[in-house]
Structure 1
Amino acid sequence: MASDVNLTVFVHQLLGAVLLPPFLYLLPVLLALLLWQRRPGLARGLMAISLLLAWLLALPVTAITLNGWLERYPPADLVQVRQTQAIVVLSGGKKPAPEYAANVLTSDAAGRLRYAAWLARHTGLPLLLSGGAPLGGEPEALVMARTLREDYGLQPRWVEAASNTTLENARLSAAMLGETGVGRITLVTQAWHMRRALPFFEAQGLRVLAAPTGFTRYEAGGLLLWIPQGRAMQETHQALRELLGILYYTIREHFTG
């Protein structure tokens, strides 16, 4: 329910709705309609800008380029993973599934959990699942824990189910790990999310090995990368949202220290 939504998350969602697609390229259309009678030339220019933005933000080549700026960490090496003490998995959302009469993980969250389970099986390291309920309802970490048990036959050692932001993921997870003397972790999250997430964990005094997953890749190439696709629209949106998040925390750090 709306009343269950965390206030900070609500503000982030609202800013994202205003500053990101589709409103980003609908805004020039609205301005064009307002100016059509008084400034028809400017109005036509705004309409052209809107169409250009809509086309560019739906291209696979745009999605690859934008996410490429974020995906700075390479895949993890198992030898290095074994030198850490725990695997921390960040939640990536949940959704109702009527066919199961329960919540299930979104595709991003499911991908993170699958990779974390694979790492755990190859290294024997314990798992920490981190994620609260920023939009209300069941905490995402509990959905991850249930999926981990039912689908992979693994049991998490820690379940952090109170965080609502990536910054809170880091703070609350570090507190749990500190109680058992864990100071070196492997961090699992989306490749585009790692650039923002990893420094938060390092700021808690942890030594962090990045284990990104879900890289932005397309099987096709050449001219096909210049044909608009629905998937590209989604991946462009996520990249712009993440870049906006990085800008937000950079400005916040500047003013708060």
Structure 2
Amino acid sequence: MIVTPSPEVLIHQLFGALLLPPLNYLLLALCGIGLRRWYRRLGLSLLLMALLLGYLLSIPRTAMWLNGYLERYPVVDVTRLRDYQAIVVLGGGKKPAPEYGQNEPSADTLTRLRYAVRLSRLSGKPLLVTGGAPLGGEAEGLVMARMLAEDYGIKPRWVETRSNTTLQNASYSAALLRASGVRRIVLVSQGWHLARAVPFFREAGLQVLPAPTGWVRYEDGGLLWYVPSGRAMQECHAALRELVGQGFYALQGKGRH
């Protein structure tokens, strides 16, 4: 099935692609190739820079360094859960799953849902899942709610399905929560995502306890941290995307709390 993203999301995707790997260093390499004919040293320098950038953005050491900057909130103290009224889980994508015959949460979303279920069971607090369909098709909130019901036997109290961005996650979720008299929430997402999400929810008028999950860590070490891998490339991409997103909203004066 062909789906169509919203214009806002399409613009974000296209603009982000120019600034993020692999297109950023591929464009740098193309510039180097193009300039070598007239400016040999400059062209060669750009090519070498592109190769170095491509290497650095594919190794675990860089992935941990970039995400370490974003993972600013500590592991949540579960004894504090009693002081909050609800647990909010941010959508992180969905994917077609032929083996299930339906859409399923992405790996990031599954990580968030699993941790949210753990916190809910420890505290007895109700869940809110939030996520629209930024790329079209079924809303992430519906996919998340279905997975919680089928795999954990939990029905979220609130399901938000209109949001296409993290900023909208905060705005639409806050409206649902305020209608139920909820002002204090536990917010679940990856640590690198909470750096951007927490200020949005606070600006929406909620008291927020960050509950990060999905930390970027590697068990091995030494030379292996400098060997390129697909996982490290993805984690570098995610961190850089968050930094670009923070910059975009900072220019609009949002997300500073």
User: TM-score, normalization: structure 2?
Assistant: 0.96
CA distance in 2, matches of 1:157, 1:141: 12
Q: Which residue of 1 aligns with 2:195?
A: 195
Q: Which residue of 2 aligns with 1:20?
A: 20
State the identity as a percent.
Answer: 56
Q: Which residue of 2 aligns with 1:239?
A: 239
CA distance in 2, matches of 1:17, 1:139: 23
Q: Which residue of 2 aligns with 1:86?
A: 86
Q: Which residue of 2 aligns with 1:99?
A: 99
1:4 offset after TM fit, Å? 2.8
Q: Which residue of 2 aligns with 1:54?
A: 54
Tell me if structure 1 keeps the 8 A contact 2:88–2:185: yes
1:34 offset after TM fit, Å? 1.2
CA distance in 1, matches of 2:11, 2:28: 23
CA distance in 2, matches of 1:200, 1:165: 11
What amino acid is the match of 1:103? N
1:3 offset after TM fit, Å? 6.1
CA distance in 2, matches of 1:3, 1:93: 14
CA distance in 1, matches of 2:104, 2:137: 12
- Structure 1 residues without counterparts, runs of 5 or longer: none
What amino acid is the match of 1:16? G
User: TM-score, normalization: structure 1?
Assistant: 0.96
Structure 1 segments (4+ residues) deviating >3 Å = none
Tell me if structure 1 keeps the 8 A contact 2:3–2:137: no
Q: Give 1:1-257 correspondences, 5 Å limit.
A: 4-253=4-253
> What RMSD over aligned residues (CA atoms) do the two structures have, in Å?
1.1
- Structure 2 residues without counterparts, runs of 5 or longer: none
CA distance in 1, matches of 2:241, 2:136: 21
CA distance in 2, matches of 1:200, 1:127: 19
CA distance in 1, matches of 2:72, 2:115: 18
What amino acid is the match of 1:29? A
1:2 offset after TM fit, Å? 6.4
How many residue pairs are counted as aligned between the two chains? 254
- Give CA deviations for 1:111-164 in whole Å, capped at 9, x if unaligned: 000000111111110000100000000000000000000111111000011111
